[in-house]
């Protein structure tokens, strides 16, 4: 009887801990969503950019694990990267709003200012006085700084190339480009998901990890369905 009671108490305790962990994770994701929405409002973007980047990041991260053992990503890593991806543009909170919302093309000088959001975002999170040992924080710092790096070294701010770019930044960079191309019509023409995949895979938008391009092609239909099922913000 004592053994049964002890087991029952243990199960109850595990249930309480699991519930508390779930609520903490949901609260963290909620705060990331709020910060992401604040960035979108300041940038004049609105819509569901951050939501879609998080969604596409989560889907893409499932693929490399099944194709290679090069990246050691556990379930906790994938979830932390997925949530942290919503902070990739947080540095734009310190970029002048008149530049972010400028209706015309940016001047070279203005573009250089916008590019600083990568370093600003990484510094904002690095300067947090607490949580520096948290998995999510570490990933968020690397994502903020390096999501605009490109596989051939043609990105910014540090000109990293190949596997010098952390895999989480590679995935978020691809998800960011993919979402923007799908969601932003050009001359009144809305691009299809297939058109966007073709553009990315032919290098129109910069160079990406060939493995991730394979993943994007493999998961094109699933990503398209998931994005279409995302409710629009009102």
Give the catalytic positions in this structure: 92
How far apart CA 115 and CA 157 sit, in angstroms, is 7
CA distances from 22 to 27, 104, 135, 210 (A): 9, 44, 16, 35
How far apart CA 162 and CA 169 sit, in angstroms, is 12
* Tokens of residue 121, six digits: 């975002």
Closest CA to 223 of 100, 58, 69: 58
How far apart CA 199 and CA 223 sit, in angstroms, is 16
Q: Cβ contacts of residue 108 below 8 Å, gap of 6+? A: none
3-class state of residue 186 by DSSP? strand
* Tokens of residue 162, six digits: 């190949």
Closest CA to 151 of 207, 197, 205: 207
């Amino acid at each position: 009887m004592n053994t049964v009671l002890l087991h029952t108490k243990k199960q109850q305790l595990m249930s309480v801990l699991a519930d508390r962990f779930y609520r903490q994770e949901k609260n963290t994701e909620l705060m990331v969503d709020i910060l992401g929405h604040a960035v979108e409002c300041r940038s004049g973007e609105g819509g569901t950019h951050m939501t879609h980047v998080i969604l596409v990041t989560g889907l893409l991260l499932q693929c490399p694990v099944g194709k290679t053992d090069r990246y050691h990503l556990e379930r906790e890593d994938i979830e932390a990267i997925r949530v942290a991806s919503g902070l990739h543009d947080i540095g734009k909170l310190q970029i002048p709003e008149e530049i972010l919302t400028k209706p015309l093309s940016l001047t070279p000088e203005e573009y250089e200012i916008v590019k600083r959001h990568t370093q600003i975002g990484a510094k904002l999170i690095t300067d947090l006085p607490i949580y520096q040992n948290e998995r999510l924080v570490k990933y968020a710092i690397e994502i903020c700084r390096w999501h605009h790096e490109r596989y051939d070294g043609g990105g910014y701010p540090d000109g990293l190339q190949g596997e010098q770019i952390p895999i989480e930044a590679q995935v978020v960079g691809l998800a960011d480009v993919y979402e923007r191309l799908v969601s932003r019509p050009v001359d009144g023409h809305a691009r299809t998901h297939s058109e966007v995949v073709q553009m990315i895979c032919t290098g129109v938008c910069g160079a990406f990890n060939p493995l991730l391009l394979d993943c994007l092609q493999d998961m094109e239909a699933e990503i398209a369905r998931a994005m279409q099922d995302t409710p629009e913000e009102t």
